[in-house]
Amino acid sequence: MSDYTTIVGLEVHVQLATASKLFCGCSTKFGAEPNTQTCPVCIGLPGTLPVMNRNAFQLALKTAVALNCEIPAYTKWDRKQYYYPDLPKNYQISQYDLPMSQHGYLDIGDPKGAFEPKRVRILRAHLEEDAGKSLHDEVAGKGDSLIDLNRTGTPLLEIVSEPDMRSPLEAKAFLTELKLLLTYIGVSDCNMQEGSLRVDANVNLHIDTAEGKVATPIIEIKNMNSFRAVERALEYEVGRQWCEWQETHRKLGDAPKQTRGWDDVAGVTRGQRSKEESSDYRYFPDPDLAPVTVGPQDAAAIRESLGELPAALRGRLESDFGLSAYDADVLVNQGSPVVTYFLDVAKFTGDPKAAANWVTQDVLRTLKESEHTIESLPVASSALAELIRKVKAGEVPSSRAREVFQTMVEKRVDVAAAMQSLGIAAVDEGELIALCQKLLAANPKTISDVRAGKLQAVGALIGQAKKQNPNVDPTRFRELCLELIEKAP
């Protein structure tokens, strides 16, 4: 009987949110007509000279600092030799032996405890330029191939993790946390459909055998365009490697690394080519670009400017506001505008738990089911706080609070107007007591049931009370009934 461990490492290419390309002034805006955002530099005409985009370097530094990386004082540019139609220079400007950052980490966890929290080490993060795009068979039956060089030279940050993940789920959690971090610090829009975030996954198995540990060949999976696809591709590949090993039982340790592509529709990976070794690329320092120096004060200034990162924010929501890990996670995953909205509601009401319940339930459901963003939601944080206050004061029956909220959203009105349009008027305490006494007198069995310990017997009375007056607050009514029963002779 053998057992195995899944070993996963990820390589993520993130497009940095700059207005122009990495080494020329061409626009990076997505969706333009093919080849309209090009110039002699990015199409690689001889005699042109690249000039580094400072902003791209700043965004890369910001990311590296947020990923807890070491920032070397000196970094340089290298040429990675390729011959591909979508890279007319025949080399990609990248970073090889002296990347702009290395040896960082990202902590991941699962709010539902599906795996133990862990630290995934970041091997390196370096800057490089993107290639263009080949388009095949655009005109049906013509068998043509076209090139769009708009994307050529767009700044990418390549983030390489150590093989520290032990399951497809952990890999997905890493990507989710990374995307959240990048979004919080505003370095990328992370739009996977537009190619702003691309993932390659390396996976193999360490198998325990009677003769010791055997490692299956490392497979690099490409062509995955969602985190769910990454998870599925890894699950498939783990199964495939395990079956292959069981069938062959051969010593696989020396087999070369292989690249496989993910077919999302068929749900399988397919072999592509054997993986290039870095020596195949014949890297050498780019003589056209000056090295970049980064002082310790630069990194410190960036650290200052980062603001609160998702992990710290989650921690603060739990420790300062008493939220559950799950609620804190839900809120932080929505992005900082939703967190700010929650913080405002919590501040205005002084009741963070009620604020969290409303925001994670009704507010998020409304955002999901409507075209609204948190910024365009007709119910401002102060208006939701007002509703929560009125519910606590018994002016809005808790059973009708959701209706009031929906009316505020749909009619774009404040709490008072929503209450009026729903015919909600506060039931005064005297009225409520009278109603309670009347119903208790008519239902002596309820009294004996409650005294016998069956508190839920009160429920029948709540139903009757609401029939007589829909504004009755069930929570308050229940309290009153139990009080009266206790006091009764």
* Contacting positions for Mn ion (CB under 5 A): 158
| 132 neighbors 87 (Cβ within 8 angstroms) | yes
Residue 56 in contact with Zn ion, rule: CB under 5 A: no
3-state secondary structure of 139: coil
Residue 131 in contact with Zn ion, rule: CB under 5 A: no
Residue 286 interacting entry, from Mn ion, Zn ion, none, C-beta within 5 to 8 Å by type: none
Residue 7 interacting entry, from Mn ion, Zn ion, none, C-beta within 5 to 8 Å by type: none
Residue 22 in contact with Zn ion, rule: CB under 5 A: no
Tell me the C-alpha distance between 53 and 27, whole Å: 12
Structure-block tokens of residue 143: 């068998």
Is the four-CA dihedral 169, 175, 179, 181 of positive or negative sign? positive
Residue 215 interacting entry, from Zn ion, Mn ion, none, C-beta within 5 to 8 Å by type: none
Structure-block tokens of residue 411: 């009619």
The smaller minimum CB distance to Zn ion, of residues 57 and 358, is found at 57
Selected binder of Zn ion within 27, 30, 39, 308 (CB under 5 A)? 39
3-state secondary structure of 56: helix
Tell me the C-alpha distance between 233 and 81, whole Å: 29
Extended strands (E) in 171-211: 197-209
The smaller minimum CB distance to Zn ion, of residues 32 and 114, is found at 32
The smaller minimum CB distance to Zn ion, of residues 26 and 60, is found at 26
Residue 24 in contact with Zn ion, rule: CB under 5 A: yes
Residue 219 interacting entry, from Mn ion, Zn ion, none, C-beta within 5 to 8 Å by type: none
| 482 neighbors 450 (Cβ within 8 angstroms) | yes
Residue 26 interacting entry, from Mn ion, Zn ion, none, C-beta within 5 to 8 Å by type: Zn ion
| 332 neighbors 343 (Cβ within 8 angstroms) | no
The smaller minimum CB distance to Mn ion, of residues 157 and 218, is found at 157
The smaller minimum CB distance to Mn ion, of residues 148 and 158, is found at 158
The smaller minimum CB distance to Zn ion, of residues 72 and 88, is found at 88
Choose one: 42-50, 82-90, 118-126, 137-145; the region binding Zn ion (CB under 5 A): 42-50
Q: Which of residues 367-406 bind Zn ion (CB under 5 A)?
A: none
The smaller minimum CB distance to Zn ion, of residues 39 and 160, is found at 39
Residue 42 interacting entry, from Mn ion, Zn ion, none, C-beta within 5 to 8 Å by type: Zn ion
CA angle 203, 78, 187 (to 5 degrees): 65
The distance of closest approach from Cβ of residue 46 to Zn ion in the complex, given in angstroms and rounded to an integer, is 15
Residue 473 interacting entry, from Zn ion, Mn ion, none, C-beta within 5 to 8 Å by type: none
The distance of closest approach from Cβ of residue 12 to Mn ion in the complex, given in angstroms and rounded to an integer, is 10
| 169 neighbors 145 (Cβ within 8 angstroms) | no
The distance of closest approach from Cβ of residue 128 to Mn ion in the complex, given in angstroms and rounded to an integer, is 5
The smaller minimum CB distance to Mn ion, of residues 282 and 303, is found at 282
The distance of closest approach from Cβ of residue 260 to Mn ion in the complex, given in angstroms and rounded to an integer, is 18
Residue 26 in contact with Zn ion, rule: CB under 5 A: yes
The distance of closest approach from Cβ of residue 48 to Zn ion in the complex, given in angstroms and rounded to an integer, is 9
3-state secondary structure of 333: helix
The distance of closest approach from Cβ of residue 373 to Zn ion in the complex, given in angstroms and rounded to an integer, is 34
The distance of closest approach from Cβ of residue 132 to Mn ion in the complex, given in angstroms and rounded to an integer, is 15
- Tracing tokens 């080519």 back to the chain, one arrives at 273
Residue at shortest CB range from Mn ion:
158
Residue 108 interacting entry, from Zn ion, Mn ion, none, C-beta within 5 to 8 Å by type: none
- Tracing tokens 């997905």 back to the chain, one arrives at 172
Residues 6+ apart with CB under 8 A from 383: 408, 414, 415
429 CA to centre of own chain: 48
DSSP secondary structure letter of residue 363: I
Residue 328 interacting entry, from Zn ion, Mn ion, none, C-beta within 5 to 8 Å by type: none
The smaller minimum CB distance to Mn ion, of residues 84 and 326, is found at 84
Structure-block tokens of residue 479: 């309290």
CA-to-CA separations, 25 to 1, 51, 287, 434, in angstroms, rounded: 61, 9, 20, 78
Tell me the C-alpha distance between 362 and 351, whole Å: 16
**Backbone dihedral region for residue 186 (phi beyond 0: left; psi -120 to 50: alpha; all else: beta):** left
Residue 158 interacting entry, from Zn ion, Mn ion, none, C-beta within 5 to 8 Å by type: Mn ion
- Other CB atoms within a 10 A radius of the CB of residue 99 amount to 23
Which spans of this chain sit near Zn ion (rule: CB under 5 A)? Answer: 24, 26, 39, 41-42
